[in-house]
Amino acid sequence: MAGVGFWALVVLATAVSLLTAWTLGANSNSPPFAPAIGANAISTMRAAFLIGILAALGALTQGGAISETVGAGLIDGVAITSLAATAGLLTASAFMAFGIYTGYPVPAAFATTGAMVGVGLSLGGDPAVGTYRQIVTFWVLVPPVSGGLAYLTATILRRDDIPETVGVPLLAAVVGAIVANVQLSVIPSGPDATQNSLAGFGADLVDLPAVATVEPMVAVVTVAFAALSFQFIRRRTQQSVDKGIRTFLVVLGSVVAFSSGGSQVGLATGPLENLYSAELGLPGLVLLAIGAVGILGGAWMGAPRLLQATSREYASLGIRRSIAALVPGFVIAQAAIALGIPISFNNIIISGVIGGGLAGGSAGVSRRKIGVTLAFWLITLVSSIAIGFGLYRVFAAVLG
């Protein structure tokens, strides 16, 4: 039977996980609405409220993939103990808390990944080189892909020969098609799966022969969602271009905030995967619920400060360039969740904000701010590994 010391560590590790989730809600889940605030499409406080609700729902329905990677995929040969998880989460939380109070968006994925690698190495584990290669490749590709897509989208939206009553609804159709294929745990799935999409559920209900490896019902549902999204935003833009564009901007912020919860919660819950599943025998939903509560509280209490910093300082965006910043953010976020790769929403959204800003000329982008942010991201990754390694050694020496 587990002793008092074990349960004390369980309580401590859970409390630190909640703290980490709180900082994630205040820090990394905030940027999705920053472009909307910068474009005056929504107020800061209302955005913070929506971020909390949507990110918590995303955490519960999409949070398992990243959690597994962070909890078991970063180190080979050892299992992350409750003491090691506590050391790693404390390290990551300290970095993110620093970002909240200084106004510099700290990449949560960099801080948490570095911290867990550090404590894992301190435990005597071996580096998971293959996983590192995949993660780093994805991270390196995020800025050029997000910024490039945002630049391209913003350039198209600025063209005089493409009416806004057509261009914006077409972007809405793309988002709607992706939403139809987002994997969620609340949608009934087959016996060998834990998640399903609305398009996949339609294919399960109506079993038709595949055409060139494509399920006909998946295509039908995808096209239907795209068409509905196109028609909804088109009607809004026909009534009032500005009103329709602002509506789409808020919708984009909402789906990206939902996606952020699905990926970011794993940064708080992943270190406790072994403790809760193997040692306590609890279902994964319990751990995700703990993370969701922390994210909700952090978004409501801590998000407004960073929202202001991110939306005002990186680029002076108009409504159209703000849309351009969010579309690639949503696409990249869902790709990361599908691949199980921890990502930084600060990285994605800020790259999109910069790309959208450059489409209107470099005058609206602070080059010094960009340079300082990039340097700070690299420092975060390297120093979190070192601090996580050392902090666990201290805890092990003091607590045994």
Task: Describe the chain by its helix, strand, coil percentages, rounded to 5.
Answer: 80, 0, 20
Compute the Cα dihedral for 75, 80, 86, 87 and give only its sign: negative
pTM: 0.83
Task: Check whether 400 has a pLDDT greater than 70.
Answer: no
Integer-rounded Cα radius of gyration of the chain: 21
Q: What is the pLDDT of residue 393?
A: 93
Q: What is the pLDDT of residue 366?
A: 64
pLDDT above 70: residue 361 = no
Q: Which amino acid is at 276?
A: Y
Comparing 38-42, 47-51, 138-142, 268-272, the range with the smallest average pLDDT is 38-42
- Kindly state the average pLDDT of the residues 237-245: 86
| Confidence label for 228 from pLDDT (cuts 50, 70 and 90) | very high
Above 80 in pLDDT, residue 54? yes
Greatest mean pLDDT among 116-120, 335-339, 350-354: 116-120
Residue 225 pLDDT grade (very low, low, confident, very high; cuts 50, 70, 90): very high
**Orientation angle between helical segments 4-26 and 241-269, nearest 10 degrees:** 160
Q: Residue 108 has what pLDDT?
A: 82
Q: Model confidence at 394, in pLDDT bands (50, 70, 90)?
A: very high
pLDDT value at residue 363: 47
Query: Can you tell me the mean pLDDT for 275-288?
Result: 86
Residue-wise pLDDT tens digits, 125-180: 999 999 999 999 999 898 888 888 888 888 888 777 788 888 889 999 999 999 99
- Mean pLDDT value across residues 263-291: 87
What whole-number percentage of the chain has pLDDT above 90? 24
Is residue 365 predicted with pLDDT exceeding 60?
no
Q: Provide the pLDDT for residue 242.
A: 82
In tens, the pLDDT along 68-126 reads 899 888 999 888 888 899 899 899 888 877 876 776 667 888 989 999 999 999 999 99
pLDDT the model gives residue 318: 65
Q: Is the pLDDT of residue 308 over 80?
A: no
Give the model's pLDDT for residue 180. 93
Which H/E stretch holds residue 116? helix 108-122
Q: Across-strand partners of 184?
A: 196
Asked whether the predicted pLDDT for residue 23 surpasses 90, the reply is no
State residue 100's pLDDT score.
67
At 362, is the pLDDT very low, low, confident or very high (cuts 50, 70, 90)?
Answer: low
Share of the chain above pLDDT 70, in %: 90
What pLDDT shows up at residue 245? 83
